[in-house]
Structure 1
């Protein structure tokens, strides 16, 4: 599958498939709302991401079928002498291709993209209950060097 996968920026026409993948797991099913037509909040979020040159919503395709998605955010920092970092979020692969290397391809593509953009760090978070995801990211070379914290606002 590795040679057949194509990566491209998502379009608004991809939203239904993207939200479907985001909702297709234990945690996503409780957070996402995959109903048709999609709630307008997804379109609003897509337009905000699409308009921001420091955000990229990327899909992985096999032929015409979207089989993976991730968002990459590029952030400038004063720390590390004004360096940039890339944050990878919302990584999902289609349930029919899990375990076939698509997730690794997505992350490796994001790392290459971060290098192209001159980033000095690639970071991501994953829910502590996603033990398989944690092992997956560790296999790819990520290390839990910091303790992340979040505060839900609503």
Structure 2
């Protein structure tokens, strides 16, 4: 972990340029993220939708006043498991030049503690199949690859 204190807090609308930059800098993600001004309204719409949801939270990780990471949590309650709730961790990004310094682990541990504090029995996440380093990282933190995921892109 860097010598300064890492602050994990709910993201604010004013954080959007930094958060967008983290995603746009991720060549491996393949999500088409961009810092082009013409795309800003798409990100703003998504941010406001997340902020309005009682089941979703977007976070910013801040170090020395700079955004160095982000993640989103989604709480899903289902009938199976006797109505249990699960925290899904999504969109985990750490600034590329700061990877390997404990920021990602701090963000994931924050999620785990938040879920425990809310009485949830599970946290889960998905990771792109090509992100082998991320898979090792998640396994080191105690996650197990128990399911196979499927996606369908809709046009």
TM-score, scaled relative to structure 2: 0.94
Name structure 2 gaps, 5 residues minimum.
Answer: none
What's 1:67 paired with? 68
Q: How does 1:1-154 map to 2 (within 5 A)?
A: 1=2, 4-28=5-29, 31-36=32-37, 38-154=39-155
Residue 76 of structure 1 contacts residue 84 of structure 1 at CA under 8 Å; is this kept in 2?
Answer: yes
Structure 1 residues without counterparts, runs of 5 or longer = none
Aligned 8 A contact 1:2 1:102 in 2: no
- Asked if structure 2 preserves the Cα contact closer than 8 Å seen for 1:2 and 1:105, the reply is no
Q: Distance in 2 between matches of 1:14 and 1:29?
A: 22
Contact 1:16–1:38 (CA under 8 A) maintained in structure 2: no
Aligned residue for 2:121, secondary structure, equals strand
Please report the RMSD computed on the Cα atoms of aligned residues, expressed in angstroms: 1.5
Please state how far the C-alpha of 1:3 moved relative to its aligned partner.
6.3
Partner secondary structure for residue 105 of structure 2: helix
* Greater alpha carbon shift after TM alignment, 86-95 vs 37-46: 37-46
CA distance in 2, matches of 1:29, 1:126: 13
Q: Distance in 2 between matches of 1:36 and 1:45?
A: 15
Larger displacement relative to structure 2 (86-95 or 35-44) = 35-44
Shift of 1:151: 1.0
Q: Is the 8 Å Cα contact of residues 88 and 124 (structure 1) preserved in structure 2?
A: yes
